[in-house]
Amino acid sequence: MRQAIIRLVQVAALLSFVGAATVLAQQSSGAAGGLVTFQEILEGLKEDGSKWLTFGGNFANHRFSPLTQITPDNVNRLQPQWTFQTATVGNFETTTLLRDNVLYVTGPLNVAWALDARSGRQIWRYRRELPLTGLTACCGLVNRGFGILGDKLFMTTLDAHLLALDAKTGAVVWDATLEDYRTGYAATIAPIIAKDKVIVGVAGGEYGIRGFLEAYDANTGKRAWRFYTIPGPGEPGHNTWSGDSWKTGGAGIWVTGAYDPELNLLYYGTGNPGPDYHSGSREGDNLYSDSIVAVDADSGKLRWHYQFTPHDVHDYDSTQVPILADLTINGQARKTVMFANRNGFFYTLDRTNGRLLVAKTYVNTTWAKEIDAQGRPILLPGQTPDEKGEFTCPDALGATNFWQPSFDPRTQVFYVTAREACATFFGYETPFVPGQRFTGGAQQLVNRADNRPSGAIRALDPKTVELKWEFKLPTPSRAGILTTASNLLFSGDNEGNIFALDSRNGKQLWRYQMGANLHGTSPITYMVDGRQHILVPSGTTLTAWALGDVPRGTGQN
Amino acid sequence: MRQAIIRLVQVAALLSFVGAATVLAQQSSGAAGGLVTFQEILEGLKEDGSKWLTFGGNFANHRFSPLTQITPDNVNRLQPQWTFQTATVGNFETTTLLRDNVLYVTGPLNVAWALDARSGRQIWRYRRELPLTGLTACCGLVNRGFGILGDKLFMTTLDAHLLALDAKTGAVVWDATLEDYRTGYAATIAPIIAKDKVIVGVAGGEYGIRGFLEAYDANTGKRAWRFYTIPGPGEPGHNTWSGDSWKTGGAGIWVTGAYDPELNLLYYGTGNPGPDYHSGSREGDNLYSDSIVAVDADSGKLRWHYQFTPHDVHDYDSTQVPILADLTINGQARKTVMFANRNGFFYTLDRTNGRLLVAKTYVNTTWAKEIDAQGRPILLPGQTPDEKGEFTCPDALGATNFWQPSFDPRTQVFYVTAREACATFFGYETPFVPGQRFTGGAQQLVNRADNRPSGAIRALDPKTVELKWEFKLPTPSRAGILTTASNLLFSGDNEGNIFALDSRNGKQLWRYQMGANLHGTSPITYMVDGRQHILVPSGTTLTAWALGDVPRGTGQN
């Protein structure tokens, strides 16, 4: 018993911040109550700050709030208002939802809460009875947040179910099985709502699953469709997998995508092909691994795909958060989807057809030289993992990853938490055993003078991938980003601080030491009783800060 | 594994608060460094605020700080400065020590840390390798804090050892075995230093131990003496235990006592006799259970004792914190020891000889009418636990308990976190099995209209037990108390708030919702860089607040 506790030496807390500024008159009208409509979610974040109803704030995943009460001038007066300790252990990657002054929070181990946004007081708590053994979530028993519609909340589970909870009580309304968790499936993704459907995907790329995206009827929990990320026999793309490798090819979907209601298309990034590193058993491009897929929300049919990393051998899951925006590129108005990829490249695509518009590296990248006119990477030599090891940048954790970027629609700047890190990749044959890890190798981080992993918040022009500014971090961070219309950017570092930057120039304006990282998610912001709040989940494995191995001079002011 | 985590659904965090006031000029000189001397500890808390070197602030256990920068006028500007998340689970009952701007913190499960007091940054972390099974700490895998002397820190362990750690590195310098933990012994007490000796006691009153107080040489870890709280054959008091009951009679010492360096006497409260409720096997007064013992610090010889609850049948451990002060009572100057007891009575004794000076109830008490002239309680009928159950006040958790009271030496007011609670006590025979619980019954809390447990911070005159004021709490709290020379009192409620009261009248001036209780300890206060800090451990089982069962109208403002 003790060992289990010691191994999971992690805590998790929610901190709510308000400015010390005078309370302004703009009273929130959020307490109106009633059922959550699809129209409301569609409208995204509004000036009254009364709602946060979907993962990215809006379906385009901007994580950009119109609120302006907290400004670059007063943000240094932000102070914690209350703390909620979750009393669970594990990485705390949830995007909190808000409606009617109630916060809906999921935590590690499929515990979830409804909290009074005024006080942090618990309204209800839900805990999933998980199986004692056999859970396969490769990289933390996490959950990334609720979806909401009507009177229901939707949560995926580590044993690969999708639950609907009564938003008033936390009681389970329906429980749908995605797949049998004993065969390597898990689910950590935050659902989104497309009209009357709940959209979810599965994790398990390290366990030889066959990935898919699914839609469930929000009312009944009945499955509406399933889109396999690996085509079956007879389907286009099936021949990009040699032999039977398609059956265990991975390509999970474990990070929430975007939705364009006009085109009625869902945009989701897909995970790595399995086994991750030794790829002799899966010759071919391995479609649709490491891709973005555009899927019709009604039918689940694939409209188009774009593969970022054909025949990946570096575990470059393309499970980052896609962001939608309409941009003018080379004088032409484009409906785009932007994607800062784990593989080191930033991509802007035409989201109507998947055509590549822009692709350039935004971190040090050695596996490919560039992306050619056909949208394929031009590979560089000596980058295939083998038994002696090959040194490649980025490392397997990537140039960025599952934490969320943000996009300012006014300035059309894309903000991403980037990593500069390289690793030695080893590849060797491993047998497939159902329910067991199936990676075909490993990476080894080499912490030497010329390879000290670092991080940065980078502001990029998605039309050119030009770096507008960067805020350097001494060690790589896994924090997502929130921006606001008052030119603020909120994120966190690997040393346990939440901080605010001026989003125009990257200047640091404020920070607070939370004692554990903002990890895999971003703060949200909203109005309660006329005051703008910043809410941040803080909880992770021990931080570099806590471990005492942070370079001197980078600590708390 | 999951079950273990879910059972211990607890987190723990340290919060450091500073006022928003301008930084004053009174720079701390605490960074001078060097070995901690006994003289320094003896001097207690000083005006420069640079140290907190012993459990109660001073050996008299006043928990009263001379600091005055934070005042009733500016305390409402206190705000969290940093949070340290311990990444351990369990009740967080430590009294933090401070020297040279370094905080020394023990946590649940015998994890411990040295932290930079400026930033909360970890300097080192220590974790005891505990046995996987067989730990018997009845009521939480807690630790109550370090002792310090020279270059060493002293910590008791759940497997009944006493460790000396190098204060600079956290490395173990010596490791002394108190007793075999497999026979029911554990240790959670914060050591104090008497000259060159480390004073500790053992827990296990629910496991049929024979309690003792011990002294170890601080340099070598060699045991200097042991005082058994239950006299052996031939010793005075042995005949207060029928048959062999003395061998398993309990009377642990698990809360830190006081020390009078002039008299060279240690004052420790002792635990309940075992079995707790059914007492047929232990006829007699059961000395020195439920007593205060005055023990010579050099020799470990008993100077005097006073038994609060002879032949206890309600689990009224007298393991509260004794406080020393010189008072004038009925016109006579007295060296006193004051004791707010779990059994409902407040006692003021002459600490030179153990003579009772004052004894009166300070909560609703039904087991005894009063304390007679000989110092014995006059029992009330119908209060002996039996198979049908007897309703008695206080309940077994008591009128107060292991959390610390405070004493203002200027005003001679005693502050205690009191509980108003009753229970039905059941008693029945249970066999003694080594290493197993041995309680002979149980109590049942009856939450009915006429028995709604509540709490209060009470300000008492220790010369009369007169109530000067009270600050009511909707549910009982387990928070200790800190007072300051600026007329502030800091404590916490059962709903997760830390609060500040005006110590002159009990008026609430400030509070903050920490998300978990201040439990079994108090904040400490000190100066860093010229600013007064309040440091508070926050971590416990789920709070009533978190569980959502707090009466309406008592929540956060």
Read off the pLDDT of each residue in A442-454 and give the average, rounded to a whole number.
79
Check: CB of residue B356 under 8 Å from CB of residue B349.
Answer: yes
Of A2, A82, A548, the CB nearest to B123: A548
pLDDT at A547: 39
Residue in the structure block whose two tokens are 């067991």: A436
- Which residue does chain B place closest to A84, by CA atoms? B515
What is the predicted pLDDT for the residue at B137?
A: 78
CA dihedral over A174, A180, A181, A182, signed as positive or negative? positive
Angle at A185 between CA A180 and CA A191, to 5 degrees: 105
Query: Across the interface, which of A8, A119, A127 has its CB nearest the CB of B556?
Result: A119
Asked if the C-beta of B498 comes within 8 angstroms of chain A's C-beta atoms, the answer is no
Per-residue model confidence as pLDDT tens digits over A308-336: 999 999 999 999 999 999 999 999 999 99
Across the interface, of A5, A545, A550, the residue whose CB is closest to B8 is A5
Q: How far apart are CA B257 and CA B190, in angstroms?
A: 9
Q: Is the dihedral of CA A467, A468, A470, A476 positive or negative?
A: negative
C-alpha separations of A14 from A78, A95, A154, B17, B79 in Å: 15, 11, 20, 18, 16
Is B80 in contact with A85 (Cβ distance < 8 A)? no
DSSP B250: B
Nearest CB among B2, B512, B548 relative to A132 is that of B2
Is A510 at the interface with chain B, CB within 8 A?
Answer: no
A122 in B contact zone (CB under 8 Å): yes
* Residue in A with minimal Cα distance to B111: A6
Check CB contact under 8 Å for A555 and B79.
no
Q: In the prediction, which pLDDT does A13 show?
A: 62
Nearest beta carbon to residue B86 from set A6, A11, A555: A11
Residue A519: list chain B partners with CB under 8 A: none
The pLDDT of A236-260, averaged and rounded, is 97
Mean pLDDT, range B372-380, rounded to an integer: 97
pLDDT band at B31 (very low <50, low <70, confident <90, very high): very low
Comparing A403-407, B29-33, B282-286, which segment has the lowest mean pLDDT? B29-33
Q: Residue A86: pLDDT band by 50, 70, 90 thresholds?
A: confident
How distant is the Cα of A252 from the closest Cα of chain B, in angstroms? 25
A21 near B CB under 8 A: no
Interface probe with B: pick from A78, A82, A83, most Cβ of B within 10 Å: A83
Nearest residue, CB atoms, A5 vs list B4, B123, B547: B4
Whether the per-residue pLDDT at A131 is higher than 90: the answer is: no
What's the pLDDT score for residue A2?
20
Q: How confident is the model at residue B140 (pLDDT cuts 50, 70, 90)?
A: confident
Task: Provide the shortest C-alpha distance from residue B480 to chain A (in Å).
Answer: 20
pLDDT at position A12 over 70: no
Q: What is the pLDDT of residue B1?
A: 18
Say if B537 is an interface residue toward chain A (CB within 8 Å): no
pLDDT band at A338 (very low <50, low <70, confident <90, very high): very high
pLDDT digit string, tens, across residues B92-126:
999 999 999 999 999 988 999 999 999 888 899 99
The A residues from 219 to 238 touching B (CB cutoff 8 Å) are none
Smallest Cβ distance to A83: which of B118, B515, B550?
Answer: B515
Q: Is the ipTM, as predicted for this complex, more than 0.95?
A: no
- 């709903």: which residue's tokens? B495
Residues 130-159 of B with CB under 8 A from A: 130, 132-133
- Beta carbons of A122 and B512 less than 8 Å apart: no
Q: Which residues of A touch B550 (CB under 8 A)?
A: 121
Among residues A290, A312, A315, A395, the one annotated as catalytic is: A315
> CA-to-CA distance for A29 and A39, rounded, in angstroms?
17
Confidence check: pLDDT of B26 > 60: no
Tell me: pLDDT of A371 over 80. yes
Residue B358 neighbours by CB distance under 10 Å: 21
Cβ of residue A548 closer than 8 Å to a chain B Cβ: yes
Which of A368-382, B25-39, B401-415 has the weakest average pLDDT? B25-39
Averaged pLDDT for residues B450-464: 93
Q: Does the annotation count B315 as an active-site position? A: yes
Asked if B132 lies within 8 A of A20 by C-beta distance, the reply is no
To the nearest whole Å, the CA of B20 is away from the closest chain A CA by 10
Under an 8 A CB cutoff, do A556 and B130 touch? no
What is the signed CA dihedral for B489, B491, B497, B503, rounded to 10 degrees? Answer: -20
CB within 8 Å: B512 and A82? yes
Q: Do A556 and B120 touch (CB under 8 A)?
A: yes
pLDDT at B191: 98
Among chain A residues, CA nearest to B3: A132
pLDDT of A18 reads: 59
Question: Could you tell me if A412 lies within 8 Å of chain B, comparing CB atoms?
Answer: no
pLDDT at res. A90: 73
Look up the CATH number of domain B2-547: 2.140.10.10
- What is the percent of chain B where pLDDT is above 70? 90
Q: Is the pLDDT score of B25 beyond 70?
A: no
CB-nearest to A9 from B88, B513, B541 is B88
Give the pLDDT of residue B309.
Answer: 98
| B129 lies within 8 A of chain A by CB | no
Task: Say yes or no for a CB contact (<8 Å) between A79 and B79.
Answer: yes
How many pairs of residues across A and B have Cβ atoms under 8 Å apart?
164
Mean pLDDT, residues A445-471: 90
* Report field, pTM of the whole predicted structure over 0.90: no
Is 50 exceeded by the pLDDT of residue A113? yes
Q: Count Cβ atoms below 10 Å from residue A446 Cβ, excluding itself.
A: 16
Whether residue A32 lies within 8 A of chain B, CB to CB, comes out as: no
Shortest distance between the Cα of B3 and any Cα of chain A, in A, equals 8
Q: Quick one: three-class SS letters along A327-354?
A: EEECCEEEEEEEEECCCCEEEEEECCCC
Within 8 A of B547 by CB-CB distance, chain A residues are 122, 125
pLDDT (average), residues A117-125: 90
Please check whether residue B89 touches A, CB under 8 A: yes
Considering CB atoms only, which of A120, A130, A514 is closest to B513? A120
Give the tens place of pLDDT for each residue, A478-527: 999 999 999 999 999 998 899 999 999 999 999 988 888 899 999 999 99
> Residues of B with CB below 8 A from A516's CB?
85, 87
Q: Which residues of A touch B19 (CB under 8 A)?
A: none
Domain borders along chain A are 2-547
8-state DSSP, B205: T
Nearest to B138 by CA among B105, B190, B187, B92: B187
The CA-atom distances, in angstroms, between B249 and each of A117, B179, B287, B390, B432 are: 51, 16, 9, 23, 11
Q: Does residue A5 carry a pLDDT above 70?
A: no
pLDDT at B151: 97
Which residues from B are below 8 Å from A544, CB to CB? Answer: none
Burial class (CB in 10 A: 0-12, 13-18, 19+), A440: buried
Q: Would the pLDDT of B269 be above 80? A: yes
Instruction: Say whether A85 and B124 touch across the interface (CB within 8 A).
Output: no
Answer left, alpha or beta for residue B208, where phi above 0 means left and psi between -120 and 50 means alpha: left
| Cβ-proximal residues to A343 (8 Å cutoff; 6+ apart), any chain | A290, A308, A309, A312, A314, A316, A318, A365, A367, A368, A377, A394, A398, A399
Task: Tell me if chain B has a CB within 8 Å of the CB of A9.
Answer: yes
Integer Cα distance of B56 and B323 in angstroms? 9
Nearest-CA distance B77 → chain A (Å) = 10
Query: How does pLDDT run across B47-79, given as a tens digit for each residue?
Result: 999 999 999 999 999 999 999 999 999 999 898
Q: Residue B46: pLDDT above 60?
A: yes
The answer on pLDDT for A156 being more than 80 is yes
The active-site residue, picked from B276, B285, B290, B315, is B315
Tens-digit pLDDT profile for residues A27-67: 333 344 689 999 999 999 999 999 999 999 999 999 999 99
What residues of chain B lie within 8 A of the CB of A132, using their CB? 1-3
